[in-house]
């Protein structure tokens, strides 16, 4: 029987990390999943190949043995024979494959290649006779929330494919961030588990506040008289109004920091970013004669 290059099947090199293997497998599994390719024998073949490659490369012990013998796997058979005899009861064909998001084949060794069964102790080719079990397809959805919506965790019900799903929107979630709702994807076949639902959050830019990480930035207008003489103003934040003291002689573009008035830190209760205010000093327009006279006197002095 021919040697099977599992690295080549997944399109990764031999130094690939567990994450690289997982990502490569998920991409192929989604592309060739039987649910998306009904009555397509070639897609089913490629799907099985990807599943088998993931079964080996995502399992540290299997991968170690595979890398050890490689194309010379037949010469390692005698060495492994005793170990296999001691673990005859162990099944490698059934059960959900490891490596995160694998697809479960319930047909014993017959669901894998002859090469796999020979190297890893599966049953005889074509054996088992049980129906194949396919994990349900993962699904994706997008949910738009405002910057104000994420200032605190909120429960919300969304509808995906006709099903109502109640979820908690975590405070501080970022634009483009994705969360997984386990078991709410497509239904599995022949008793296999359902897939997962991945929700990507869209947080549009706010017209008043600019978000950078957990910090917020805002420009507020300050009249000339308060800037020159000092005083007290009221500023809006995302959690309410605050009073600020303005120092006499404040210059244009002066920045002040309001500690803890930014966005909540994701999944860290009671931690917040900061709010930075920039003063935009506004010059008076349409001066009265008296006001113009006063400014002229100030200029002369």
Which tens digit of pLDDT belongs to each residue from 86-142?
A: 444 333 333 333 333 333 333 333 456 666 665 565 544 444 444 556 678 888 899
Q: Which of 202, 228, 249 is the last residue of a domain?
A: 202
Q: Classify residue 40: in a domain, yes or no.
A: yes
Q: Helix (H, G, I), strand (E, B), or coil: what is residue 244?
A: strand
- Residue 197 sits in which domain range? 139-202
Q: Tell me how far apart the alpha carbons of residues 267 and 182 are, in angstroms, rounded to a whole number.
A: 18
Looking at the fold, whether 194 and 103 belong to one and the same domain comes out as no
**pLDDT (tens digit per residue) in 33-63:** 887 888 888 988 898 888 888 888 988 888 8
Q: Largest Cα–Cα distance in the chain?
A: 106
231 — alpha (psi -120 to 50), left (phi > 0) or beta? left
Residues of the chain with pLDDT under 70: 1, 70-134
Candidates 150, 184, 186, 148; CA nearest to 168 is 150
What is the CATH classification number for the domain harbouring 191?
2.60.260.20
Residues 217 and 292 both lie in one domain: yes
How far is it, in rounded angstroms, from Cα 284 to Cα 261? 31
Beta bridge partners of 218: 277
| pLDDT value at residue 291 | 86
Q: What's the chain's length in residues? A: 301
**E strands, 117-162, where?**
139-144, 154-160
């Amino acid at each position: 029987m021919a040697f099977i290059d599992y690295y080549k099947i997944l399109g990764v090199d031999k130094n690939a990390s567990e994450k690289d293997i997982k990502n490569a497998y998920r991409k192929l599994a989604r592309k060739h999943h039987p649910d998306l390719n009904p009555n397509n024998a070639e897609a089913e073949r490629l799907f099985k190949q990807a599943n088998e490659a993931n079964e080996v490369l995502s399992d540290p012990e299997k991968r170690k043995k595979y890398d050890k013998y490689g194309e010379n796997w037949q010469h390692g058979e005698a060495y492994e024979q005793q170990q296999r005899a001691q673990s005859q009861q162990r099944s490698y064909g059934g059960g959900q494959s490891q490596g995160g998001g694998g697809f479960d084949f319930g047909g014993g060794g017959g669901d894998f290649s002859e090469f796999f069964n020979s190297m890893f102790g599966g049953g005889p080719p074509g054996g088992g006779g049980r129906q194949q079990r396919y994990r349900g397809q993962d699904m994706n959805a997008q949910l738009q929330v405002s910057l104000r919506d994420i200032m605190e965790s909120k429960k919300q019900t969304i509808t995906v494919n006709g099903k109502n799903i109640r979820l908690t929107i975590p405070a501080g979630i970022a634009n483009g961030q994705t969360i997984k709702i386990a078991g709410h994807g497509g239904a599995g076949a022949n008793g296999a588990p359902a897939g997962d639902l991945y929700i990507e959050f869209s947080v549009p830019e706010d017209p008043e506040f600019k978000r950078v990480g957990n910090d917020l930035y805002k420009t507020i207008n300050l009249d000339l008289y308060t800037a020159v003489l000092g005083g007290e103003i009221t500023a809006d934040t995302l959690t309410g109004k605050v009073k600020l003291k303005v120092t006499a002689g404040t210059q244009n573009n002066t920045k002040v920091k309001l500690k803890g008035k930014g966005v909540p830190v994701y999944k860290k209760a009671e931690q917040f970013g900061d709010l930075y205010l920039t003063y935009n000093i506004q010059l008076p327009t349409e001066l009265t004669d008296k006001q113009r006279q006063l400014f002229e006197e100030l200029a002369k002095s």
